[in-house]
């Protein structure tokens, strides 16, 4: 990916963050994040939006597999059975992070940024989960193209768009 | 700050991250982060370094003041007395994050990114703490120039350089 393409990806992610923050402020609801492959980029994109402090609580960067259990409360047997790149693990990350950060909503990311496949999953395979005030969560699978930077940036945008969509639909 | 200046700041931070990761790999030690004003940018800068997964565990984004207690274990009375932008709070964040993420080292950031002063502290006032394997921590105060992006980026670089310096000095 060229630097120009990376900058364009960053702008798209920033726009998705601004839209999500706008919705949260309108609803007077709060957000937390739980990040594996994005490693802090989702949180950093959110805090770049002006006036975010009323709605963004913070989050967990669970890069090492054990931290997915220790910090976010993902059942250790689920992680042992499926590995970290799994839709049910993504859902458990979002639900656990939402509770532990005491937020109304949480967005969680897990996947393979590359350059090598991981636990039998190809580079670019990503699961994003959004947990909401009803206690449940929705998960989507993505196969994202490009290098590590492109995969991470596209994951951030996907998570923020899923959050906005979920807020518009309900609950 | 111009986009070119922001890109240059990002390159400096990336170089500091690569140097710190190199030292950690040589020492076979692990790192966690605890981020308030940097909001995930420190973690995201670290995971951009190739081959980081053996040394980087993850971290806590404690943007909301309560999360500094709830996630990182900063004493609530210390926070109530001093506010979140304080050297002893920075030390407690680093020490708490190191334990909770089960890492050898932790870097913590707290400060005022702007645009407004906060809790009587001026824009650009930042405290960075590094906690190490001896259980103690070192803290430094910075007064950083520029807008939110510049202050955050300079904080990331300062934290990574303090970590590298601390690893070279000991313990």
pLDDT of residue B6: 72
Question: Which pLDDT score, from 0 to 100, does residue B52 have?
Answer: 95
All residues of chain B having their beta carbon less than 8 Å from the beta carbon of residue A47 are 39-41, 63
ipTM, 2 dp: 0.95
In this predicted structure, what is the pLDDT of residue B82?
96
Q: Cis before residue B88, ω within 30 degrees of 0?
A: no
Instruction: Dump pLDDT digits (tens) for B56-100.
Output: 999 999 999 999 999 999 999 999 999 999 999 999 999 999 999
pLDDT digits (tens, 9 = 90+) for A86-145: 999 999 999 999 999 999 999 999 999 999 999 899 999 999 999 999 989 999 999 999
- The predicted pLDDT at position A9 comes to 86
Query: pTM higher than 0.90 for the full model?
Result: yes
Q: Which residues contact B59 (CB under 8 A, 6 or more apart)?
A: A40, A60, A61, B32, B33, B34, B35, B42, B43, B97, B101, B106
Cβ pair A55, A21 in contact under 8 A: yes
Candidates B31, B44, B55: best to mutate against A (most CBs of A within 10 A) is B44
Which candidate from A7, A40, A101 shows the least CB-CB separation from B43? A40
- Measured between beta carbons, the chain A residues lying within 8 angstroms of B40 are 33, 35, 40-47, 59, 61
Of B47, B60, B63, the CB nearest to A60: B60
Strand partners, B130: B107, B138
How many residues in total does chain A contain? 171
Residue of A31, A64, A105 for testing the chain B interface, max B β-carbons within 10 Å:
A64
Show the domains of chain A with their CATH numbers: 3-169 (3.90.950.20)
């Amino acid at each position: 990916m060229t630097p120009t393409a990376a900058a364009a990806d960053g702008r798209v992610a920033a726009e998705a963050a601004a839209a999500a923050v706008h919705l949260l402020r309108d609803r007077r609801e709060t957000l937390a994040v739980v990040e594996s492959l994005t490693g802090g980029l989702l949180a950093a994109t959110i805090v770049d939006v002006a006036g975010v402090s009323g709605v963004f609580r913070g989050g967990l960067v669970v890069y090492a597999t054990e931290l997915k259990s220790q910090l976010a409360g993902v059942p250790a047997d689920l992680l042992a059975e499926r590995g970290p790149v799994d839709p049910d693990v993504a859902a458990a990350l979002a639900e656990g992070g939402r509770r532990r950060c005491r937020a109304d909503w949480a967005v969680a990311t897990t996947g393979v940024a590359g350059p090598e496949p991981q636990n039998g999953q190809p580079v670019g395979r990503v699961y994003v989960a959004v947990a909401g005030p009803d206690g449940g969560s929705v998960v989507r699978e993505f196969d994202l193209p490009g290098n590590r930077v492109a995969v991470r940036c596209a994951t951030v945008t996907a998570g923020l768009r899923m959050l906005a969509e979920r807020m518009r639909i309900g609950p």
